[in-house]
Amino acid sequence: MSPFLSPLPPFRWDIFCRVIDNFGDIGVCWRLANILQQDYQQTVRLWVDEPQALAALEPNLNLNLSQQTLRQIEVCVWSDDFADTQVADVVIEAFGCELPSHYIQAMQAQPPIWINLEYFSAEPWVQGFHAMPSKQSNGLDKTFFFPSILPNTGGLMREADLLQRRDTFSANQANHQAWCKQWGLAEPLKNSFKISIFSYENKAIEYIFKVWSQSSMAIEVYLPQGRLLTSAQDYFDRPLHAGDCLTQGNMTLHILPFLPQIEYDKLQWLCDLNFVRGEESFVRAQWAAKPFIWHIYPTDDEAHWDKLHAFLTVYSQDIDPNAKTALIEFMQGWNQQTLRAEQWSALMQAWPHLCQHAQDWVIYLESLGELTSNLVKCVKSKV
């Protein structure tokens, strides 16, 4: 059993999710629901306002049903005409989504443990607010819980067996070949440098494609269908569909369908470098123990730059100085949607340091405790 696991009495959990960032919000909530059910044997009900987003991550979801049981989790459509329902023992308000008003009224009669699962942040101020209760105007306490890479915060989420599954998949090249065959992809070229890209629209993709096509080594790029596909189509000046394979110079681009969560994990394990976005794929990249480039969700008030800087400050603090500079400049350039050839060259020169740091980073994350385990401990402290 993972040292993260902490036993918990059988509770009923309600997780409320409004889909804002396409798949990031529901991806986090669906993963949390699964870990609570599978690793902690909890009874979980997930409320989601856009079930089609969940269907992309979990193909077995039936979009014709407003309520169904999937993987022993009750999945309910969160509609505007929210019906009266029994309040759970633990209520997770994901990312400040604001619970239905009459559900909150019912909570006053039967107060649950109410937790606001916040967005990820490595900004120092979250340490002072993590796991702190806030008295609401209705008299109920709401506790704010922060995913983070800082000590004394929520940590990052993963399943108890994730690292074992990762290592088993990565240990045998035949697993890579079988996975590619499953998705209609050509067998990876021997000694090629493999890159996955899951990002928001980004003008820099056109420039980095040019750099990769002129590379001295063979580069294979795996692009699942998503928002970045539009940017890639502009570069190739043609529609792109799942199953397409295009070669330009030393770069081969593979277009994949949008992948279910468990399959996207395998893509990250297969690749040498992963471009990720938002929160869900960003967290999985860290557990993959591979170098990654994060495209943070851009906000109108530009607060995302503070979050990106805070993350890079913590993540890079123990990296070789030259490698640190190369990583920060490339990641900032990707987020600014402007890249230079020398930034890619510097990243490759720093590659051995970045690979070693990615592996050491997982050890550090484990020292923080896993998010679900920390959440369970928080709930137990309130019983």
Q: What are the catalytic residues?
A: 25, 279
Q: What is the four-CA torsion angle of 51, 53, 59, 61, rounded to 10 degrees?
A: -10
CB atoms within 10 A of CB 383: 10
Q: Are strands 141-145 and 113-117 parallel, antiparallel or unpaired?
A: parallel
**Residue 112 contacts residue 88 (beta carbons within 8 Å):** yes
- How many CA within 13 A on the CB side of residue 356? 9
Task: Return the amino acid letter for 336.
Answer: Q
Closest Cα to residue 157, out of 172, 147, 145? 147
Spatial distance between the Cα atoms of 94 and 99, rounded to a whole number of angstroms: 9
Longest dimension (CA), the chain: 67
CB atoms within 10 A of CB 6: 18
Helices and strands: H and E segment counts in the chain: 15, 14
Q: Where are the beta strands (DSSP E) in the chain?
A: 12-17, 43-48, 67-70, 73-77, 90-94, 113-117, 132-135, 141-145, 193-197, 219-224, 245-248, 251-256, 273-277, 292-295
Task: Return the amino acid letter for 285.
Answer: A
Closest Cα to residue 142, out of 92, 105, 101? 92
Direct distance between the N- and C-terminal alpha carbons of the chain, in angstroms, rounded to an integer? 24
Task: Return the amino acid letter for 175.
Answer: N
DSSP annotation of 272 reads S
